[in-house]
């Protein structure tokens, strides 16, 4: 696969997202549904703590990527949905730091929504990966 990143946007000295990513000749695609901060028993963890939910959600995304034979560096797009946009933007560095640490350079969307599927969820992230 060939990849070309277009229009990087930086926030606080970290890559926040690219305006576009050109993917040529991918062999495999992985479409990840919305992931959230669920504990081992399936309950929402870090209730009221958006930073904790961001970090655990990234861990859960990483687990799904690995199970499918992908890595974070294969992610070309993420979509972040939150019920608390001010808290999410104040803690966005938790996401950008994790993505940078894992070599992830995606396009992205950040959207505030009225509700997510569980009232304790503050953030949900979905992604697209290509190899």
Per-residue pLDDT tens for 35-54?
A: 999 999 999 999 999 999 99
Q: Could you tell me which residues come within 8 angstroms of residue 1 by beta carbon, excluding any fewer than 6 positions away?
A: 23, 24, 25, 26, 27, 130, 131
- What pLDDT shows up at residue 68? 98
- What pLDDT shows up at residue 30? 97
DSSP character string of 97-129: HHHHHTT---EEEEEE-S--SSTT--EEEEEEE
- What pLDDT shows up at residue 16? 81
Residues of the chain with pLDDT under 70: none
Whole-number Cα distances in Å, 38 to 7, 16, 74: 34, 25, 23
- Tell me the residue range of the domain where 20 lies: 2-130
- What pLDDT shows up at residue 9? 87
Number of domains in the chain: 1
**Model pTM?**
0.90
- What pLDDT shows up at residue 18? 85
CA–CA gap between residue 103 and residue 97 (Å, rounded) = 10
- CATH number (domain holding residue 39): 3.30.1330.40
């Amino acid at each position: 696969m060939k990849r070309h990143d277009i229009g990087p946007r930086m926030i606080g000295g970290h890559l926040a997202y690219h305006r576009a990513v050109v993917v040529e000749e991918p062999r495999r695609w992985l479409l990840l549904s919305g992931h959230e901060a669920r504990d081992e028993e399936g309950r929402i963890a870090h209730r009221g703590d958006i930073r904790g939910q961001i970090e655990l959600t990234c861990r859960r995304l990483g687990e799904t990527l690995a199970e499918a034979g992908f890595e974070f560096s294969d992610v070309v797009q993420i979509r972040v949905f939150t019920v608390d946009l001010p808290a999410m933007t104040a803690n966005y560095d938790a996401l950008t730091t994790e993505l940078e640490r894992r070599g992830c350079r995606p396009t992205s969307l950040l959207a505030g929504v009225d509700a997510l599927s569980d009232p304790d969820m503050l953030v949900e992230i979905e992604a697209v990966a290509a190899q």
